[in-house]
Structure 1
């Protein structure tokens, strides 16, 4: 698979920024080295596809549209009754594996890695930053680790998931990655934040 060039090239500059000095309560990181694949079944095949996909994916497929299944660096989100979004390491060659597993009459496999950017927002003030743009209750008692929501920030559709105790991942359309990144910087500035080196 060809290397995916960051949509943030030219604007992503690691460093300590915003209010104050010392340790910042917010860290923004672009997550690279990931493949994103959509697996879309049909209404009459979704049950069989969900069961059969578990082996090549390496994790049980989720049964609801609110909580992801995850193992290691692989996460699976059920984004619609018959659709799954799989985020995994590039070297997993997930698209090829699923295409070999299913015929078109069972499910359709679509590579989305080049069309999405993943931004991680972490730290003690991460939830406060996101709360200024994400119309979802992100308190950990309501939005626990693994929870996700298909929501929006300033009219841009994003998938937001809690990936750690004080850590959230945003899966953003590539065309709007700069818009969301700059919004995060602007919103986090009042708290003080760091932009970390891109990480896989």
Structure 2
């Protein structure tokens, strides 16, 4: 898989920023070299498609809204009825999914070059994200591996919780630079590190 040029451009400035005198509240980074496939199951094929995703990735899902799985660089999560993001650092993800999911079961769209994945982690990540999205980011309302589809003004985002303090945010590449700057502004008061 060839590495694509980052849409963040000159706004990606590694190092510590904002009010980091008392420590860094969050770390921001762009996840690269990922395959991102959106799978949509027909209403009567959801259980079969979930089984197929599991056989192609090793990540077994239950048929519950938002439910997901994370294992290292692989993840999968539902964000709407019958719709799933499947993510891996392997270039053959789409071909493995296509061999497991026939057109009679659902559809697939490769979003690899259409999305940017921004990871926010650290003790203040829930708080920073709550400033931008009308979602309860506490772990009881947004458990580990679950996903959500939401908006920040006109910027659509899919968000998956990776662990206690880490979230991956999927945004359209065309909005990535603007959203990255917005995220940095939101994190300034707690200090943030760009890696």
TM-score (norm 2): 0.91
1:164 and 2:177 aligned: no
The residue number in structure 2 matching 1:83 is 83
Distance in structure 2 (CA, Å) of the matches to 1:176 and 1:37: 19
The residue number in structure 1 matching 2:96 is 97
Following superposition, the deviation at residue 64 of structure 1 comes to 1.6
Q: CA 1:106–1:75 in 2, change beyond 3 Å: closer, same or farther?
A: same
Gapped regions of structure 2 (runs ≥ 5): none
Following superposition, the deviation at residue 60 of structure 1 comes to 0.9
Alignment RMSD (CA, Å):
1.7
1:131 counterpart SS class: helix
1:190 counterpart SS class: helix
Q: Deviations over 1:85-116 (max 9, x none)?
A: 1011133x110112223332222221111011
The residue number in structure 1 matching 2:38 is 38
Q: Which runs of 4+ in 1 moved over 6 A?
A: none
Instruction: State how 1:1-200 maps to structure 2 within 5 Å.
Output: 1-21=1-21, 23-91=23-91, 93-196=92-195
Q: CA 1:52–1:90 in 2, change beyond 3 Å: closer, same or farther?
A: closer
Distance in structure 1 (CA, Å) of the matches to 2:190 and 2:50: 43
Following superposition, the deviation at residue 184 of structure 1 comes to 0.7
Is contact 1:35-1:113 (8 Å) kept? yes
Is contact 1:62-1:69 (8 Å) kept? no
Following superposition, the deviation at residue 80 of structure 1 comes to 2.6
Following superposition, the deviation at residue 150 of structure 1 comes to 1.0
Number of residue pairs aligned between Structure 1 and Structure 2: 195
Distance in structure 2 (CA, Å) of the matches to 1:14 and 1:68: 31
Distance in structure 2 (CA, Å) of the matches to 1:119 and 1:48: 31
Is contact 1:62-1:77 (8 Å) kept? no
